[in-house]
A and B are shown apart, each in its own frame.
Chain A
Amino acid sequence: MVKRILAIVFILIIGFWMAKALDQIPFGQDRMLVGKYYLEHVTEDTGAINAVTAVVVNYRGFDTLGEVTVLFIASTGVAALLWRKKRKRTAKTEGSIVLTTGARLLLPFIMLFGAYIFIHGHLTPGGGFPGGATIATAFLFFYLAFTVYEIDHKIFEPLEGFAGLGYVTVGLIGLAIGGYFLFDWIWQTWGIGRENVGRLLSAGFIPIIYTLIGIKVGTELTGIVDNMIKEPEEGG
């Protein structure tokens, strides 16, 4: 009890300190220094309508590569932590007929929507990470609805690796053409899609990279779910 009161007092002091600091900053006013440049030049620089994805993939592409690496390390770490030679699904109860039929009906729509999110990352809100997470949610739904379902590991892990490799390859081609890593060579050198900004085939390499990231994130999160749902066999 004393410990709890002490903790609450301590947290209140920290909260008061942070509120005092944040009090100096006015809310909702224009305080942009670099942001102004992004908002004014985003369409001519990258061809994207969505400024967020343009910043994430184009201006600050290195951070996205780091994030993808973090996800890859998380997935590999879970797999290494839970590794056994023989592991199986141990679902004891079959899902009800309503659940399995509903899953069968809904799954194509969830997958299609996930693909829609990451393909249209340069036009609408979203991008590779929510799209990939939506696709992983569809696979999670597979796992929960059907007791025997298991992903094909021969396809999934190589696909994950190749998607990451594709991202780095696109960046390295930019290094060869434009002089720095993750240079947008499709937009700035080739100029593909300059006449149809705001349509699907525009915005340089943002749709390509987001498709790769979507595939990578989807397979990675599905792999984490797969590793966590399987249990070692008796004496395995």
Chain B
Amino acid sequence: MNDWVAIFITALMVISAIFAVEWRDLLAAVIGMAAVSLFASIAFFFLQAPDVAMVEAAIGAALSAAVFIFAIKRTERYESEEEGTGWWARW
């Protein structure tokens, strides 16, 4: 049963990491990043490292997400949609 929980948490972590990169809305991307931190914290807890899990939860889920949101508030919320015409455009 423990193996299945570990696989489930790792899969959720990978999925939220992919979404954090893929989403064009940066606010949603911050949520994805905080979710990665949360699942990483749970994974650390499952691997019996409570010290690391606490640091990961306190820094990754709360403070870094808040700092990213402040940065978004003072810049732009959406990633611009410019894609080059070919693969050399932004190489």
A interface list, Cβ under 8 A from B: 1-3, 6, 50, 52-53, 117, 125-127, 129-130, 133-134, 136-137, 140, 221, 224-225, 228-229, 231
Q: Which residues on the B side are within 8 Å of A229 (C-beta)?
A: 70
* A50: B residues at CB distance < 8 A: 51
User: Within 8 Å of chain A (Cβ to Cβ): is B71?
Assistant: yes
Check if B87 sits within 8 Å of A137, measured CB to CB. no
Instruction: Closest B residue to A50 by CB, please name it.
Output: B51
- Shortest C-beta distance, A87 to chain B (Å), equals 12
B91 in contact with A134 (CB, 8 Å)? no
Q: Are A224 and B67 in contact (CB under 8 A)?
A: yes
Interface of B (DSSP majority class): helix
Shortest distance from the beta carbon of A179 to any chain B beta carbon, whole Å: 30
| 21 residue pairs A–B, Cβ–Cβ below 8 Å | A1-B87, A2-B87, A3-B87, A3-B90, A3-B91, A50-B51, A52-B51, A125-B51, A125-B54, A130-B51, A130-B55, A133-B55, A133-B62, A137-B58, A137-B63, A140-B62, A221-B63, A225-B67, A225-B70, A229-B70, A231-B74
Nearest-neighbour CB distance to chain B for A227, whole angstroms, equals 9
Contacts of A127 in B (CB 8 A): 51
A101 to B33, CA, bound (A): 29
